[in-house]
Structure 1
Amino acid sequence: MEMLLITTAAALWGCATGMLVPRPAYRLSVPPEELWRPACPAGHPLVGIGNGWLGRARCATGDTYGPSTFSVASITAVVCALLAFATGARSELVVWLLLVPAAVLLATVDLAVHRLPDVLTLPLAAAVLVLLGVVAMLPGAGGSWTGALLGSLTSGTCHFVLFLISKGFGFGDVKLTLALGAVLGWYGWAFVVIGTFAGYLLGALYGIVQILAGRGGPASRIPFGPFLFTGTLAGVLLGFYTS
């Protein structure tokens, strides 16, 4: 019964926070030379809570914009429920639930414009380490903050090297792996290996499908962020069931 309550509460949290993702996703889905969109597609300035960042993606005319609210909220709810089911009542679940909406937001932006904004990736990496540092001092924590720090540094360094030698890997991906490496490293090196491998495998499969469909070539860049996130989720889930 306890697990059912935790999973249900996590799913509701994911649904509620996921409904707030489309507006910032729309605002951040811009070319690298722009910071964000100041207005809706109809030209109305985006104002309100949080300087216009919070709220429904609907303009004054009633038209919606940005990614599908239903799809984004559903994905966020499912991811939160899966993490709650795997993690249980451990203290770090609170951190995962706080990070999921940000992860979905980044993945949505990357899919739209092949870009992971610094305004999100760098604070996300810092937030993960700070939050896990707090959780490590609480009872019921199931990981190691030292492991999270080492996972972050190792993953970031390895992906920076990959960025230098590969044209298909962006610097935004490097900064993102600082956060994801910390998440996986919290549970141990086995999780880092599983999550990283899963992310690369999914990205490679996507690239192959794109080539076969005639939508790209071997040198084409792909939005790697969503696959890094999915690989991290897979690493946490599979790590629990194989450990």
Structure 2
Amino acid sequence: MTIYPIRAFQDNYIWAIHNKHNLVVIDPGDAQPVIDYCQKHQLTLVSVLITHHHRDHTGGIVQLKSQFPQLTVIGPNNPAIAAVDQTVNQGDVIAIEPLQLSFEVMSIPGHTLDHIAYFGHGAVFCGDTLFHAGCGRLFEGTPQQMLASLKKLATLPDATRVYCTHEYTEANLRFANAVEPNNPLLKEVSDTVAQMRAIDLPSLPTSIAEQKRVNPFLRCTESPLAQSVANWANQQLADELSTFTHLRQWKDQF
């Protein structure tokens, strides 16, 4: 099984999972890069997995279905997503027989209310919820929902590879370093990512273990980080949720 990032728009990755003959993609906001990839590698697109309804994750579905009439589109139960064949939610297990794949569905609201992730084969495809060193903006959900979703993802095995949909890592690390300017691990990871991006390599996948070490949104109970957020907010913060809420506000204004 090969997992490959098909690039789209300015910073999207359409994750492609394939063997020698068949292909699954996650969040195809644009159809043409997927079609080009299929033609280049002589692959048949058999399934599309959708994490949430935003256009940059769903915009290619209709064209892909016209190009590959046999494909099955799987996604959350949201009528805003066109041409979904199978709706799924928390705890469902989907099987993609041509690639002998199965994924457990996780409900992870926050960025949007319909947001889901797909976990299996040592990987999680988590859309715009957990980023390398960051998390998604709260367009529809509450801080409490997003924090719960991030904590749910953090319970996955440490070795789980994290495939999110955007190349936001350098910007996220700039913010993380502003929050914790004396954290040597953040400086080390920032240098590594900068070297990768300088030669146009993706900074992804990361891992759950790495995110538990460097992602500020997963570490709101740690005293130095919590104090830094309290200093920015100019108030004492009572608990993890308050710290997370102000940390997200800080990132939104950063």
TM > 0.5 between the two? no
Q: State the TM-score, normalized to the length of structure 1.
A: 0.27
Structure with greater proportional strand content: 2
With CA pairs under 8 Å and 6+ residues apart, which has the higher RCO, 1 or 2? 1
Q: State the TM-score, normalized to the length of structure 2.
A: 0.27
